[in-house]
Amino acid sequence: MEDLSRVTLPGQGRANPFATVGHPVHGDAHVGRAEQLRIVRERVLEQPVAGATAIIGPPRIGKSSLAYHLFMRPDARVRYPRMLPVWMNVRTQGGIEKVLRRLVDDVWELIEEAAPDSVGDRRLVRARDRALAEGAPWIEVQVETQEFLRLVRRRDWRVVLVLDEFDAAREVFRDRPGTFQALREMAYNLDWNIGLVTTSRRELRDIVDMADPDESTFAGIFRSVFLTCFDDGDLARLAARAANPPGPVDRLAELTGGHPYLASVLLDRVCSAGPPESPLAQAVERHAGPLPAEFHYYYRDLVDLLRADGRLRAILEVVLGPQLEVTPEDAQVLLQQGLLVVRGDTYQAFSLNFQHYLTTIGRGLGHWDNWMTVERRVRDLIESGFTERYGEDWEAGLRKARGPKVAPLLDKCSELRDRESRAYGDRASERLLDFTYPRDLYDLMASHWDVFGKLLGRDKAYWETRFALLAKVRNPMVHNRMGVVTPLEQSMFRTYCDELMAVLDRIDGAPAAG
């Protein structure tokens, strides 16, 4: 069997192979996804009965490209001459009636093109005419479309309907009850059995629930094929289109997480600057700081999608911690969608760059509820106390006054701040205390207990115990070591957060010293 994922590029090196980045790719430009291609091909095209298939993944991961490459590219019908592939963008359709009419019309055009003598098949022609009759009621359109497809199947044709951007079905199909059942019937009934393929960001059950919760059986006939980021092998094949051999792709993987769109954006910049030298990593590095603006736009759109789906809080808790409400099931869903990966024994965002982005926006979203608020307010308290003691340049004053006791802590925070600044420029935080952790906060206050002890109202041992527990619970959660924190420790974490919040409320409400 031909491996459709292995390609070579004619004229490689004479033109930028990534010049049309952002558009679906097929043929020689389509690399990787060998296993997913095999699954979809076997299920839709190589069985006596076509199986309904849902291609699911985050934005720009290659869903449309995979479907187009397999079913719609010019030479696909050379390999499968009895295939009649129809492509529809659900977002542009006006409802199920329009979908069915266009399906009949497009199938007929493909039959005419492949077998011109079919125009003399009077029974098939009459079925087509009845299905396309203007003004017919919905139920009649459905019945006549089924009859047309039944005759097409009996003539040994395999109809494949690709419904691209199926997420839009939650709006487009909402006004017509029974829409999903009609689509299910076209794929499931053996009399007309079409190969129904959807591409979507969301799982089908979620889409159907948003549009018509009563049609819960629709998703049950589909096999879901999830697309995630490229592994190192597929990423190397992609990079080989820019420079062959590409050399190590570690840096490209680090910057993009193996996301084919983001990797293609970066390789487009590399190729636009001229034929890249070998190894490719040197050329990639020159375009890594700052990264192209498309990275930020993509992350922003992805966060908007997560927010709309109610999953932004989940990914922020899994990636950044502490995990106060997210469940292991939430993490598994995000892992299946390719937004999380497992590195070692931890969950992380699909790329370190996206993880850093989540860190920068997390500060302003309040996703950690009590702890995020408490942490910010403790930092405000420390900054206020040090500013009152040492002035605006309190860091220099603190280093001079306490030297060896605080210098390593301040150096660590400064290094983290510089790293974020290099990665995110103006979007990075300039505040040194934003890079502290619970134990750091306690150590800074303990270094000036004459300032903070009278505000907190207890002795050092009392608060050291509490901040030690906060650090013990928070740190495993930040590194996503599921199951390490006991229910009792989580309960104590919440209790100590509430206690600190009450103390901070009292401090903020206290009258200024006269």
**What pairing do the DSSP bridges indicate for beta strands 158-164 and 346-349?**
unpaired
What pLDDT does 351 receive?
92
Give the range among 81-95, 119-133, 171-185 with minimum mean pLDDT.
171-185
What pLDDT does 504 receive?
92
Confidence grade of residue 403 (pLDDT, cut at 50, 70, 90): confident
What is the SS3 assignment for 274?
Answer: coil
CATH 3.90.420.10 is the classification of domain 33-226: no
| Residue 206 neighbours by CB under 8 Å, 6+ apart | 309
What pLDDT does 363 receive?
58
HSE (side-chain half, CA atoms, 13 Å) at 392: 0
pLDDT tens, position by position, 265-308? 999 999 988 776 667 888 888 888 788 999 999 999 999 888 88
What pLDDT does 1 receive?
38
What pLDDT does 243 receive?
83
> To the nearest whole number, what is the mean pLDDT of the chain?
87
Domain boundaries, the chain: 33-226, 234-294, 295-362, 369-509
What pLDDT does 169 receive?
93
Give the range among 65-74, 84-93, 410-419 with minimum mean pLDDT.
410-419
pLDDT tens, position by position, 110-121? 999 999 988 889
Share of the chain above pLDDT 90, in %: 57
pLDDT tens, position by position, 422-440? 765 666 788 999 889 899 9
Please indicate whether residue 139 or residue 197 has the higher confidence score (pLDDT). Answer: 197
Please indicate whether residue 428 or residue 316 has the higher confidence score (pLDDT). Answer: 316
What pLDDT does 460 receive?
93
Number of CB atoms found within 10 A of residue 487's CB: 7
| Residue 82 neighbours by CB under 8 Å, 6+ apart | 156, 157, 158
Indicate yes or no: pTM above 0.85. Answer: no
